[in-house]
Amino acid sequence: MLVISRWFVQGTCLLPLLLIFAGLGCSGGKSASSAAASSAPQQDVQTAASQPPHYDEPQEPARHVDAEKAMQYTREIVAFGPRWDGSRGQQRIGAYIHEKLRNDQVEEDTFVAETPAGKISMRNIVVKFPGAKDGIIVLGSHIDTNYPLRKTRYVGANDGACTTALLLALADQLRGRKLPGYSVWLAFFDGEEAIKEWSDSDSLYGSRHLAAKWQQDGTIRKIKGLLLADMIGDADLDIIRDKRSTEWLEDLVYEAASRLGYQSYFFADSDEIIDDHAPFANAGVPVADLIDYTYGYNNVYHHTTDDTLDKLSVKSLRVSGDVILEAIRLLNVNADRLAASPGASK
């Protein structure tokens, strides 16, 4: 994930700040190169104070994530150790996901990525929960840890582990019966992290591959929205508004948060983010990147061995998971109308 710039929203004033980042892999953050930045559509910041759109009311009952179970899954994933591509931990996380989803419809998207370290085998894992309506909602997270930190004990508790765990906990709420709305697919992306240094070609290997595959087979046209979860187990939760996500879908996420009383955790500030949602946005899919890029003071824990379990909280996983489930309910009855409304942008 690459951060391009940061704006803090204060009333109607936007105070631009220069985000200085240093570190390993993704330049200390999931940030973008200027070339990557130019490929994604520019969008204006819209604050919570903007005129809210109308939302039709869902008829299906609300669902809630088991946040304690999500935290337990996180602990189990972190116990595998580093999970960079080619590592034993990476093999174990793949087997773990398959075990948790053993009774579900699971597919693997395997491929060999050309990287600065040579050819590396990677795999996306996709689980499909069928719905009654024609269309798909995709929930995504990445499963790998930072490759340049592979010689350390970097376990990526927040950056990869907790959101992989959250998707598994969401699967627990989705299985068991045909969904009343759109089908929901969970995409566990491989190779999100740069192998050497973040660039258009050295990052987002899994999501780029899967977006291209789905574009070729026609799946892309069926996707009503993609919600990406990244770094949202942070105990000090502060999910930013991504200016490169789809505006109406970000608005819908804020509506979902507001309905649950969780709006204070969302969109106090905004950034331009390049993350696993970017290849799908470039293919015309409505996307929303749910990411907290303030991990410790001045983002000090990101891509360091301090990204550990003690920095996370069950409450943050509950907020994040419940908002995603509520966003699905809202998408089921509002996606087509909002996407077609005047001024809707992708």
Per residue in 280-315, pLDDT (tens digit) is 999 999 999 999 999 999 999 999 999 999 999 999
Residues 325/46, Cβ–Cβ less than 8 Å: no
pLDDT-based confidence at 53, cuts 50/70/90?
confident
**Tokens, residue 173:** 């709420």
Largest CA distance in the chain: 51
- For residue 60, is pLDDT > 70? yes
Give percent of the chain with pLDDT exceeding 90.
82
Question: Rounded distance, CA 108 to CA 124, Å?
Answer: 6
Nearest to 214 by CA among 203, 226, 222: 222
For the cut 50, the answer to whether the pLDDT of residue 110 exceeds it is yes
Which pLDDT value is given to residue 308?
98
Task: Judge whether residue 33 has pLDDT over 90.
Answer: no
What gap in Å lies between CA 178 and CA 148, rounded to an integer?
Answer: 42
Q: Where would I find the H helices in 40-109?
A: 67-78, 88-100
- In the structure encoding, which two tokens stand for residue 187, read together? 């995409």
Burial class (CB in 10 A: 0-12, 13-18, 19+), 135: middle
* pLDDT of 44 strictly over 80: no
The answer to whether residue 219 scores a pLDDT higher than 80 is yes
The three-class DSSP label of residue 115 is strand
pLDDT digits 0-9 by tens, 166-197:
999 999 999 998 999 999 999 999 999 999 99
In angstroms, the CA 63 to CA 232 distance is 19
Q: CA 95 to CA 277: how far, in whole Å?
A: 25
* 3-class SS letters over 227-277: EEEECCCECCCCEEEECCCCHHHHHHHHHHHHHCCCHHHEEEEEEEEECCC
Burial class (CB within 10 angstroms; exposed 0-12, middle 13-18, buried 19+) of 6: middle
User: Counting beta carbons within 10 angstroms of the beta carbon of residue 172, is it exposed (0 to 12), middle (13 to 18) or buried (19 or more)?
Assistant: middle
Pick from 12-26, 43-57, 136-150: least confident: 12-26
Give per-residue pLDDT as tens, 112-164.
Answer: 999 999 999 999 999 999 999 999 999 999 999 999 999 999 999 999 999 99
